[in-house]
Amino acid sequence: MDVFDLSSQEEFSPMKPLTKRPRKCFNQASDTLNQSSDKQSSGTLTVETSSSCDVKSDKPEVNLTERVDDIKRTSVSTEDANFVTDKTNIQGTNGAEVNSGDNCDRDCRKPVYIYDQELVRRCDAMPKIINRASMVHSLIEAYGLISLMQVVPPRRASDEEMMGFHAKDYIDFLALLSRQTDEEKFDEESDQYGLTYDCPINHHVYAYAALTSGASLRAAECLLEGRSIVAINWCGGWHHAKRDTASGFCYVNDIVLSILKLREKYDRVLYVDLDVHHGDGVEDAFCASSKVMTVSVHKHSPGFFPGSGGLNDGGVGKGRGHTVNIPLQDGMRDKEFVPLVCRVLRKVQEVFRPQAVVCQCGADGLSGDPMDSFNLTHTAYSCCVQFILQWTLPTLILGGGGYHSANTARCWTYLTAVICGRKPPTDIPDHKFFMAYGPDYELPISPGNRRNTNSRENLQRIYNSIIESLNKLTVS
């Protein structure tokens, strides 16, 4: 099977910038985004969406379930999803329980958005992503998306909760440092716990880690409670943290904790990691489990952090076959990324039949990111997220990497709009960080000119290998 379905490649052209002619994507919401975008000007979202969005602006609330059902109905034909070559529909076929509306208030279908000022303030202070959280939240707010969501404040994860994954001595050490002012006294021990280089330690780290983890846990709880079918925490997604060490800007693994939380109700949980780095901390945590399948797409190249995540790393023991890695090279573009990732996800859904999904949307694979690796745009991320949403499973959406703050804010605002069933106007609205979006002051991200070093033959080989292993799971 040809993963790229070359015969229909022309119709599927996610590389076209938003302001050009309409293009086909996976669903109606995306199509309307593209078709109408060249008429958009700055202004609030709700004013702009009435004509072409399936959610009318005069409706008092967004009916997320309806929208997702629409996606399911309208997006699965072989004409629309051009990478489908085997004539089977791409759709959520599993019978997993979907929130039917019991025990929920009138807002229950709005996506949950985890936010409070302290969460943003603490994330803003983290080295490598200084002020990023504010930029993301401010842009989402400037686009008028807040009123379309249920804003839920985070809570702090307790030590006991963090120890649900992490070693007691590691959490104790973070807590100890939070009470010190002279961190240098603890240099030696800090090294032992990975609290050095990329993970500098200071007395704010413990509070930051407890709050970001609690934010993801709160999001997972909202899904368990049936408050919504989608919950977003852009301040979460710290996939590298290990049981007893910090790693790659990650201190406490909020993803592992929230997957464990979802497992209280859902037997099988799927984790999807779109960050340009391998989701090693999450993979390690569940590599021996058949109840959590992890799928990470990432750059895999000598010297590139963290170095794990090869094609043949597929899990151990009972978890054998439940770890999927999609290792890629520099220059990856939307038009190869989307069909490859979505077709792998389709197969994963088919054989694993997840009952809930956690998707880490690390935006460091975007064109222009200082990681300087992939050449993706917001379209790649939104196509993958929409592909997952059409399964209508409880879905936790998390942030992660993304070191070009303005592009990360663009991408996650775009994703937030798509999750709300809206199309965001092209022009960045005036707001506190407006000047950071120059020189074009537009929402869409354009791909760069860099060469794609992933040959189609190699991508096809990766795809074939993954499908072959997944086929072995089609039992019991």
Q: Which of 213, 322, 222, 341 is nearest to 275 (CA)?
A: 341
- Say whether 240 is catalytic: yes
Q: Should residue 298 be labelled a site residue for Mn ion when binding is judged by CB under 5 A?
A: yes
Per CB under 5 A, contacts with Mn ion among 272-291 are 273, 275, 279
DSSP symbols for 67-100: HHHHHHHHS-STTTSTT--S----S---------
Per CB under 5 A, contacts with Mn ion among 171-200 are none
DSSP symbols for 122-172: HHHTSTTSTTHHHHHHHHHHHTT-GGGSEEE---PPPHHHHTTTS-HHHHH
Q: Should residue 213 be labelled a site residue for Mn ion when binding is judged by CB under 5 A?
A: no
Conformation bin of residue 368: beta by default, left when phi > 0, alpha when psi is -120 to 50:
left
Q: Which of 161, 96, 147 is nearest to 356 (CA)?
A: 96
CB of 259 to Mn ion, least distance (A): 15
Using DSSP's 3-state secondary structure scheme, residue 388 falls into helix
- Buried/exposed 288-325: b ≥16 CB within 10 Å, e otherwise: ebbbbbbbbbbbbeeebbeebbeeebbbeeebebbbbb
Strand 356-360 and strand 395-398: pairing? Answer: parallel
CB of 474 to Mn ion, least distance (A): 25
170 vs 234, beta carbon nearer Mn ion: 234
Q: What's the CA gap between 308 and 215, in Å, rounded?
A: 28
CB of 412 to Mn ion, least distance (A): 16
CB of 276 to Mn ion, least distance (A): 6
122 vs 298, beta carbon nearer Mn ion: 298
156 vs 298, beta carbon nearer Mn ion: 298
374 vs 433, beta carbon nearer Mn ion: 374
The helix (run of H) or strand (run of E) holding residue 224 is helix 205-224
Q: Considering CB under 5 A, how many residues would be counted as binding Mn ion?
A: 5
CB of 281 to Mn ion, least distance (A): 11
CB of 404 to Mn ion, least distance (A): 17
Tell whether omega for the bond before 306 is within 30 degrees of 0, i.e. cis. Answer: yes
CB of 434 to Mn ion, least distance (A): 31
Q: Which amino acid is at 103?
A: N
As given in the structure block, the two tokens for residue 112 are 């949950």
284 vs 427, beta carbon nearer Mn ion: 284
Per CB under 5 A, contacts with Mn ion among 21-80 are none
Q: What are phi and psi of 73, to 5 degrees?
A: -70, -40
Name 362's Cβ contacts closer than 8 Å, sequence gap at least 6: 237, 239, 273, 274, 275, 276, 277, 399, 400, 401, 402
Q: What is the CA radius of gyration of the chain?
A: 21
Contact between 98 and 392 under an 8 Å Cβ cutoff? The reply is: yes
Per CB under 5 A, contacts with Mn ion among 136-165 are none
The helix (run of H) or strand (run of E) holding residue 28 is helix 28-36
CB of 26 to Mn ion, least distance (A): 20
Considering the candidates 240, 277, 278, 378, report the single residue annotated as catalytic: 240
Per CB under 5 A, contacts with Mn ion among 246-275 are 273, 275
Q: What are phi and psi of 169, to 5 degrees?
A: -65, -30
Q: Which of 296, 390, 407, 454 binds Mn ion (CB under 5 A)?
A: 296
Cβ atoms < 10 Å from Cβ of 236: 32
72 vs 298, beta carbon nearer Mn ion: 298
227 vs 299, beta carbon nearer Mn ion: 299
* Contact region with Mn ion (CB under 5 A), list: 116-124, 175-183, 294-302, 453-461: 294-302
CB of 273 to Mn ion, least distance (A): 4
199 vs 341, beta carbon nearer Mn ion: 341
24 vs 300, beta carbon nearer Mn ion: 300
As given in the structure block, the two tokens for residue 86 are 């085997």
N-terminal to C-terminal alpha carbon distance within the chain: 25
As given in the structure block, the two tokens for residue 20 are 């050009």
Query: Looking at the annotation, which residues are catalytic?
Result: 240
- Tell me which residues touch Mn ion (CB under 5 A): 273, 275, 279, 296, 298
